[in-house]
Amino acid sequence: MTVSWWKPKKNEYTWMLMSIFCFLLPLAGCANKYRVDLIEKPISNIPATSHFYIMLSEDGRFEQIVYAGSGQLASSAVHSVLQRNGVKSTQASSIQTLAEATAEAASVGADYILQPIILHWEDRATEWSGRPDRITIKYVVVDLKNSEKVASMIVSASSKWATLGGDHPQDLVPKTVQDFIDNVF
């Protein structure tokens, strides 16, 4: 008994390659993108045993749209990532000036103030528009001993194209915070 194998013709190869390409194309947009736009590292690494006071960020905006609650979401994400990394932190309960935050931070025994500043916050219906969610956040660390800025970083991120309706700008924040603390500790 002989076994005959299927031998595709030239045009069948084309269809096979097109099918494989069409299957793999959506997978190309399955990763979030992160970029460090600017970084000012501290002269010496900040000790991981430091206590941080996290300021509450003002809400993010895109053009005329203000995303209510986005400042709270960003500041909470900073707090969560610091806690997950074993760093002691206290989160502000209201938006403050740097002078107000300095007084509050000193009263809770903090060593540094971490100020997340939302520069850009764009929530898009990516699954049907093809436009990704985007954020740009600036992180600034101020040393309470001398009230000087010791580190800062501007990070941009955009969501993956194939979101299936589940991603939002706040989902991009934790990785930007982790990138920042990886550079200052």
Rounded alpha-carbon distances, angstroms, from residue 172 to 16, 123, 164, 168: 37, 11, 16, 7
Amino acid 91: pLDDT: 97
Q: Write the CATH number for 47.
A: 3.40.50.10610
Q: How far apart are CA 68 and CA 170, in angstroms?
A: 12
Q: Tell me, yes or no, whether 76 lies in a domain.
A: yes
Task: Output the pLDDT for position 27.
Answer: 45
Asked whether residue 117 is assigned to any structural domain, the reply reads: yes
What's the pLDDT score for residue 158?
87
Residue 31 located in a structural domain: no
Instruction: State which residues form the domain around 75.
Output: 38-184
Token pair for 164: 């299936």
Per-residue pLDDT in tens (0 to 9) along the chain, 185 residues: 555 565 656 555 565 555 554 454 444 445 677 878 888 988 888 888 999 999 999 999 999 999 999 999 999 999 999 999 999 999 999 999 999 999 999 999 999 999 999 999 988 766 666 678 889 999 999 999 999 999 999 999 988 765 555 577 888 999 999 988 888 87
- Total structural domains within the chain: 1
